[in-house]
Amino acid sequence: MRRTAVALAATLILTGCGANDPKAAEGGDSGGKGGKLTILSASTDINFDPAKSQNLAITTLGLVLRRLTTWDIQAGKEATVVPDLATDTGTSSDGGKTWTYTLKDGLFYPDGSPITTADVKYGLERSFAAELSGGLGYHKGLLVGGGDYKGPYTGGELASIETPDAKTIVFKLNAPYGDWPWIASMPAFAPVPKAKDDPKTYTQNPVASGPYQVASYQQGTSVVLKRNPKWDAATDTVRAAGPDEVVFQLGQDATVAAQRLIADSGDDKFAFGAGFVPPAQLVQIESNASAKQRLVTSDAGALAYLAINTQRGPLKDVKVRQALQYAVDKKAFQVASGGAVGGDIATTLITPGIAGRQEYDLYPADPSGDAEKAKQLLTEAGQSKLSLVLLSENDPQSLAQAQAIQQGIQRAGITVTIKPADENTVIEQTTGDKPDYDLAISSWQPDFPSANGNIQPLFGTSEIGGGGYNISRYSVPEVDTLIGQALGETDAAKAQALWAQADKRILQDAPVVPLIYTKNSFLHGSNVKDFFVAAFPAYPNYLKVTLSN
């Protein structure tokens, strides 16, 4: 699951608040084939090893590596899982414990050799090696025998992945898992030919299955992708593969990158920024008509929320937690997050853009909160002098947000002390086994766009401590049962209904206060076309970008 680093956020497309380039959303003004696309990135390296990567399916890694399934992300539409190397998103049997995939025809590596299911199996196996840890590893706990398997270098093969022939692959799971088609879109499901596997260099020199291959890799400076001649557009429904060449300029200062894109001269006309536009430049862009046209704000996406530690003193009382629902000033939090471009007011746990989401509001009140109602609930709970500790990251933006929360809650007569700490310490505190906080502000964007990703990692009993993100430390057997049911449901529609039910059920216990659905803003050059940012994931879809000729 992805914890968004900065809480900026988004609007629900269905409500018509989308800030995407309207023309792009309509599908008009598309670019064509060819050209050199430049992507300005703040990070200093790109990890192409599928075992170690945590990349989204629609960004860098998706240009080079294909997986069994992938995401179809389009502006204004909910994210869906679609076949990539496989012919479908998976056929389940044995009540959802066995999943079978068949590869499409006409799939080749750049050297002309065919892509086989053995390569997919090998790619997954190597992701178990300690040497290659660090990636998205949801499959590791699901596959039979995955808990003890040490990878192909020392541990032989993993029996629960079967490849009866070069086109077929079968996965045996410990328990039914309805979201397996999403799991099959993770980087580790990309094929790795065993003969070409050099674990030391694979991160810079992966064997391409997508439309591009790595042509040059200069650590810290730039990565250049060129076309993979053996990639066949006919086998691929999600990749437009517009530019002939994609250049990543690494280690770019966010401010300078934004200035370059605002200036929009030379090669920068064919560039976009991979990072969020800094607040100061957002203001600058307001008064720059040309740049304003090229600013794309995502639809409302990741959830920012106030976690309530349900295992601490008075907070064990659901009445007190419900009082907090009313006491919090979501409006003030939104202002502290950058106002309307920062995000939309949130009331649910499942975020916009996720299939099956149902909108509701259990604690209806003005976005600024209802202090009277909160006081009333507190009186009912017999709590008059409550004093709470709010854990916050210590950057200016987080502190401003924490102060907005503090001021809101204090209206209900509750004393709130802000405890600032650096990002790593906050993570350690909230996901570790020694929690020392009453409240914590967090935000959450799932690693794959299923409602599952909004619920299970944040509210399952198994996710408390030990690195898990259930930072409310919320544990209700009824909810765990519901989650188990939903996880095992292979019928997508039924599963979605179960997740929506869980969403509401959890908020009845008020372990968190949903604050806003955050939005992210990105800037692109004037010759970059088909550039949009959906609700999930709230990042540009690299796969669709084209250049005007």
Partner 1 sequence: MTTLRFLGLRLLGMAGTLLVISVLTYAVFYLLPTDPAMLSCGKPCTPARLAEASAFMGYDKPWWAQYLDFLAGIVTGRHFGSGLAAVDCAAPCFGFSFRLNTPVTELILDRAPVTFSIAAGAAVLWLIIGVSAGVAAAVKRGTAVDRSAMLLSTVGVSAPSYLVGLLGILLFGFTLDMVPVGGYVPFTESPVDWLWHLVLPWTVLALLSAAIYARLTRGQMIEVLGEDYIRTARAKGLRERRVIGRHALRNVLIPVITVFGLDLGSLLGGAVITERVFSMQGLGALLIDAVNTVDLPVIVGVTLFSALLVIVANFAVDLVYSALDPRVSR
Q: Which residues bind partner 1 (CB under 8 A)?
A: 1-2, 44-45, 47, 49, 52, 54, 126, 129-138, 140-141, 147, 151, 153-154, 197, 199-200, 203-204, 219-221, 249-253, 255-257, 259-260, 263, 265, 424-425, 427-428, 447, 457, 466-468
**Alpha-carbon span 53 to 136, nearest angstrom:** 7
Least separation in angstroms between residue 453's CB and partner 1 is 11
For partner 1, give the closer residue by CB, 203 or 348: 203
Least separation in angstroms between residue 245's CB and partner 1 is 17
Least separation in angstroms between residue 512's CB and partner 1 is 19
Least separation in angstroms between residue 197's CB and partner 1 is 8
For partner 1, give the closer residue by CB, 413 or 432: 432
For partner 1, give the closer residue by CB, 219 or 417: 219
**Alpha-carbon span 160 to 172, nearest angstrom:** 5
Least separation in angstroms between residue 422's CB and partner 1 is 9
Contacts of 9 (CB under 8 A, 6+ apart): 298, 300, 301, 302, 304, 337, 342, 343, 344, 443, 516, 517, 518, 519, 520, 538
Least separation in angstroms between residue 66's CB and partner 1 is 21
With beta carbons less than 8 A apart as the criterion, state whether 74 and 92 touch.
no
Selection from 523, 517, 539, 520 nearest residue 284 by Cα: 523
Least separation in angstroms between residue 27's CB and partner 1 is 33
For partner 1, give the closer residue by CB, 152 or 181: 152
For partner 1, give the closer residue by CB, 178 or 446: 446
Selection from 355, 357, 332 nearest residue 342 by Cα: 332
- Contacts of residues 202-207 at CB distance under 8 Å and 24 or more positions apart, as own/partner, are 202/48, 202/49, 203/47, 203/48, 203/49, 203/52, 204/48, 205/48, 206/48, 206/49, 206/50, 206/64, 206/65, 207/109, 207/110
For the record, the structure tokens of 459 come out as: 């509210």
For partner 1, give the closer residue by CB, 14 or 427: 427
Least separation in angstroms between residue 352's CB and partner 1 is 23
**Burial class of residue 197 (count of CB atoms within 10 Å of its CB; 0-12, 13-18, 19+):** buried
Tell me, what DSSP letter sits at residue 421?
Answer: E
Selection from 127, 123, 145 nearest residue 136 by Cα: 127
Least separation in angstroms between residue 222's CB and partner 1 is 8
DSSP β-ladder status, 36-40 and 245-249: parallel
For partner 1, give the closer residue by CB, 31 or 435: 435
For partner 1, give the closer residue by CB, 41 or 546: 41
SS3 for 249?
strand
Instruction: For 405, list phi and psi in degrees, rounded to 5.
Output: -65, -45
For partner 1, give the closer residue by CB, 44 or 549: 44
Helix orientation angle between 477-488 and 451-459, rounded to the nearest 10 degrees: 150
